[in-house]
């Protein structure tokens, strides 16, 4: 039997973690053969709530879960971890813009970057969920110089899943029939959900999503806006931000990073930009990636038209602004 791996979830007393911890602990992410030790980090006022989460994990009687380490100390939380889900942050409230969150949250990710640098495994895979996710991932990586930059990623998988669900509903196929829909740029309202390289599996073969949808105007307007504003729509309806779907997406992201993507298929992840597709360099930008042996590569050679170039430019500019604001906050 394999040795247990250590996995940390921050914000472990929060609502995303409440769904995510169960998924991880039952084997949905690292596989049904991989035993786990879960490290749960939250802040001191949440330790009582966290104790309840620990009780419930125990009461789930999950065979893969070998032990649970609840803590408010980043040193304990990040010790020897192979995977880190950085969920903990101040969540966006109704009517709040993501920018308002930036100053509060980048400081958290500086501290956690430093702790990862000192205590985590050097090949730790880090997924930042807490917003502003892309910029938090960038800051975290900067304060963890002994860990490769490629190991810090930000979650845009929820946006991808939302986009693929919209296409599936439009075409009336099961969601698993839709692939290769791309989220470009920032996990924010400037993101560009792009179905122009997507495929839909119908009648035994993959056909272009554009042909399956048969409505380019919809793909450039209502589709884009619905995906961009889906987070806000969920908040308006539920009075709380997306949690079940965010947890599912975080599990999808990490599972694919560890296990790889099938030939010809790609997924979207916020990764350190090398300037591909005209994106600014050295920001965490969501690109289509294919994954093999635990390493992602940006999919090259996709043709982007003027409409796409314009939207890529807008979201890239926002990431440059966020980076400048984040650095100003940290250096103040």
Interface positions, 183-212, toward ligand NAX (CB under 6 A): 187
Residue 187 is a catalytic residue: yes
Establish if 89 lies at the interface with ligand NAX (CB under 6 A). Answer: yes
- As a whole number of angstroms, the distance between CA 286 and CA 270 comes to 4
Q: Where are the alpha helices (DSSP H) in the chain?
A: 15-25, 47-59, 74-78, 98-119, 133-142, 157-171, 209-213, 216-220, 222-228, 230-238, 244-259, 306-331
Establish if 131 lies at the interface with ligand NAX (CB under 6 A). Answer: yes
Establish if 254 lies at the interface with ligand NAX (CB under 6 A). Answer: no
Residue 131, token pair as written in the block: 């917003």
Smaller CB separation from ligand NAX, 142 or 248: 248
* Contact status, residue 315 vs residue 184, Cβ threshold 8 Å: yes
115 contacts: CB under 8 Å, gap ≥ 6: 74, 75, 77, 78
Interface positions, 30-69, toward ligand NAX (CB under 6 A): 41-43, 46
Output the DSSP codes for 75-101.
HHHHTT-SEEEE--SPPPPTT--HHHH
The one among 13, 37, 168, 271 contacting ligand NAX by CB under 6 A? 13
The one among 6, 7, 10, 213 contacting ligand NAX by CB under 6 A? 10
Closest by alpha carbon to 188, among 132, 270, 268, 269? 132
- Active-site annotation holder among 187, 197, 201, 253: 187
Instruction: Give the shortest CB-305-to-ligand NAX separation in angstroms.
Output: 26
Establish if 138 lies at the interface with ligand NAX (CB under 6 A). Answer: no
Smaller CB separation from ligand NAX, 12 or 147: 12
Report CA torsion sign: 157, 163, 167, 168.
positive
Smaller CB separation from ligand NAX, 20 or 212: 20
Q: Residue numbers of the site for ligand NAX (CB under 6 A)?
A: 10-11, 13-17, 41-43, 46, 87-89, 91-92, 108, 129-131, 133, 155, 158, 187, 231, 241-243, 246
Residues forming the active site: 187
């Amino acid at each position: 039997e394999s040795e247990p791996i250590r996995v940390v979830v921050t914000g472990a007393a929060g609502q995303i973690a409440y769904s995510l911890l169960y998924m991880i602990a039952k084997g949905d992410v690292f596989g049904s053969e991989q035993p786990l030790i879960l490290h749960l980090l939250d802040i001191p006022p949440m330790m009582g709530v966290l104790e309840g989460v620990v009780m419930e994990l125990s009461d789930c009687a999950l065979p893969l879960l070998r032990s649970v380490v609840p803590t408010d100390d980043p040193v304990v939380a990040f010790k020897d971890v192979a995977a880190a889900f950085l969920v903990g942050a101040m969540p966006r409230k109704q009517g709040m813009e993501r920018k308002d969150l930036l100053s509060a949250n980048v400081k958290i990710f500086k501290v956690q970057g430093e702790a990862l640098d000192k205590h985590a495994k050097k090949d730790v895979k880090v997924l930042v969920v807490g917003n502003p996710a892309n910029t938090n991932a960038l800051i975290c990586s900067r304060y963890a110089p002994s860990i490769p930059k490629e190991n810090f990623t930000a979650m845009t998988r929820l946006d991808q899943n939302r986009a693929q669900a919209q296409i599936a509903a439009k075409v009336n196929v099961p969601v698993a029939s839709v692939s290769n829909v791309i989220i470009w740029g920032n996990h924010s309202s400037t993101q560009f959900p792009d179905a122009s390289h997507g495929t839909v599996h119908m009648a035994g073969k993959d056909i272009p999503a554009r042909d399956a949808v048969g409505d380019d105007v919809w793909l450039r307007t209502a589709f884009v806006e619905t995906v961009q504003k889906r987070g806000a729509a969920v908040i308006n309806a539920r009075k709380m931000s997306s949690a079940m779907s965010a947890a599912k997406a975080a599990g999808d992201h990490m599972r694919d990073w560890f296990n790889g993507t099938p030939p010809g298929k790609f997924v979207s992840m916020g990764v350190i930009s090398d300037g591909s597709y005209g994106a600014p360099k050295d920001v965490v930008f969501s690109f289509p990636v294919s994954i093999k042996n635990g390493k992602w590569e940006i999919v090259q050679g996709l043709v982007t038209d003027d409409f796409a170039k314009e939207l890529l430019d807008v979201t890239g500019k926002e990431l440059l602004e966020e980076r400048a604001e984040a650095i100003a906050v940290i250096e103040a």
